[in-house]
Amino acid sequence: MILAVALLVAGCIDFVEPDLPLRGAPAVIDATIRIFDTGRLEVSGTLAPGLDDGGLLRMLTRDSLHAAGFDVAASAVADNGSRTYALERDVSPDLVAGEIVFRAPGVEGVSAPPAARWHAARRLDPDTLVISTAGDLHLHIDSSLGDFDPAVDIRQWFLTLDGGDDEFRLSANGPPPDTIIVPPRWLPAAPEGSIEARLTYFQSARIGDIDADYIALFTLDARLRWVLVVDPPQGRSP
């Protein structure tokens, strides 16, 4: 009777394969730094330390993720040893123009923690500009603030012009040009008399080759912002 009940109960359970790492698989860190020239920093990441060749969960020699000058402690640890990192902090607006450093947590039994020293971009204009729809809009940026170690695999930029009821978007691969030129016909209607310009500069790289025992996926996401006051206020130009 007991056996029959046990079999009946077992038949009602959906067994799910446990989320266990493969023995000897590399440790993997996936981390993103998002930084705003308004003075905001956001860090997020996950670390999978994996199992050693003997099938034992790898221990950490340093649990924190170093990002943009902050040591970020793990906010959660899963049963399989994976760690989650998160930080939101008000910082100096100048941080976006400085050197941005990633350094992965230390994992026992694998290579030294992957690290990167990158740079974002700096807005060269004031944060508020008075513009006219009679001529081109010029936004000035410096995206050559220093060397990259290691080199970045992917660079993309996205510009959004938001007039409230209308938006215009422009994007391209590579770093943003020193001057982004927007012709007046692309300016969105601005019923409130101003347009918000938002530039996102996205850079990412994989650190560690196919045989590496510690792999990092680092992303730097920089956000620049302008307020464009239209004088005189009007809608989309012809």
What pLDDT, in 10s, does the model give residues 25-81? 899 999 999 999 999 999 999 999 999 988 899 999 999 999 999 999 999 999 899
State CA 152 to chain mean position distance: 13
Distinct helix (H) and strand (E) counts, the chain: 1, 18
Q: Name the pLDDT band for 4 (thresholds 50, 70, 90).
A: very low
pLDDT of residue 1: 39
The two structure tokens encoding residue 190: 């601005």
Domain boundaries, the chain: 26-52+61-230
CA dist 88 and 130 (Å) reads: 32
State CA 153 to chain mean position distance: 14
Which amino acid appears at position 59 of this protein?
A: M
Q: Name the pLDDT band for 160 (thresholds 50, 70, 90).
A: very high
Helix, strand or coil for residue 12?
coil
pLDDT of residue 144: 86
pLDDT of residue 231: 86
CA dist 230 and 190 (Å) reads: 8
Which element (helix H / strand E) includes 162?
strand 154-162
pLDDT of residue 21: 62
**Across the chain, what does the average pLDDT equal?**
88
The pTM for the full model equals 0.84
- pLDDT tens-digit readout, 73-115: 999 999 899 999 999 999 999 898 889 999 999 999 999 999 9
pLDDT of residue 147: 80
Q: Is residue 238 predicted with pLDDT exceeding 60?
A: no
